[in-house]
Amino acid sequence: MRNNNRQIIIFTVIIIAICFISVIVFTLPSFIEQFNLSTKSNIGSAIGGITAPVIGIVSSILLYLALTRQTQSNIDQRLKNESDIIFLLLNQLDNEISSFYYNFTETKGTEKKEFNYTGVQGLNVFVQKLKAEHALSNFKYTFKAFYQSNQILLIIRSFLLIEKRIEISQLSQELKDMFKQKLDSVYQCRLKESFKQLLEVIDKNPHVKDSVSQEMNEFYKGHN
């Protein structure tokens, strides 16, 4: 920005200097009578007629430079908006993962104890409870009967939305790759292992399979 301002100032000073010098040059005696303006009464009109095209060309150049910079500024702003949208979606996905919750109650004798888990821990505990207690073997409904299945679908669809948004954005390929790496890290660190174990449990209990488990299975296969 400073370099651009410096160039504009220098260019303006040069134009002003040329205008002053032109007055001196045009009023000097000339060895060709037709070019001798020092004795003519309409010297102002003559100088104006000579300098007007030059000033017009300079004005056109400055206008072109201004439009070019405005266009570039609009492009930069659009790319910034694209990046901001993707960052917003990533934060939303992070919140959805963190908001996942699983709670259950255990009874020992006459005492009841309630357990509440959230986030990745909640997802892991949900999967481990299904595995350890074989809860699905006598389950009379399909997987979508669990409230947690809707939470998982929400995460999956948000994940796919971010992937699509990155793909259709006008960002450079380098930035797209960086966002994809970020998204893949979220999957590898926070979702992959839990999804893998949950699908293994569902495969061992085919009677609970439904559209939710199918969508989850397609997502898992598509990212491995």
pLDDT digits (tens, 9 = 90+) for 194-217: 999 999 999 999 999 999 999 999
- Model pLDDT, residue 8: 66
Q: Do residues 202 and 146 lie in contact, with contact meaning Cβ atoms separated by under 8 Å?
A: no
Q: Do residues 166 and 86 lie in contact, with contact meaning Cβ atoms separated by under 8 Å?
A: yes
- Model pLDDT, residue 29: 60
**End-to-end Cα separation, the chain, in angstroms:** 46
Whole-model pTM over 0.85: no
- Model pLDDT, residue 134: 66
- Model pLDDT, residue 212: 94
- Model pLDDT, residue 167: 92
- Model pLDDT, residue 34: 54
Report the mean per-residue pLDDT for the chain: 83
Tokens representing residue 190 in the block: 């926070």
Per DSSP, the three-state class of 40 is: coil
Please name which of 50, 56, 26 lies closest in space to residue 40, comparing C-alpha atoms: 26
- How far apart, in Å, are the Cα atoms of 82 and each of 123, 128, 142, 162? 31, 39, 40, 12
- pLDDT digit of tens for each residue in the chain (224 aa)? 566 667 666 776 777 677 667 666 666 665 555 555 555 555 566 566 666 766 777 677 777 777 777 777 777 777 788 889 999 999 999 999 999 999 988 887 778 889 899 999 999 999 998 887 666 788 888 999 999 999 999 999 999 999 999 999 888 899 999 999 999 999 999 999 999 999 999 999 999 999 999 999 999 999 98
Count the Cβ atoms, other than its own, within 10 Å of residue 66. 11
- Model pLDDT, residue 45: 65
- How far apart, in Å, are the Cα atoms of 130 and each of 112, 200, 206? 20, 11, 14
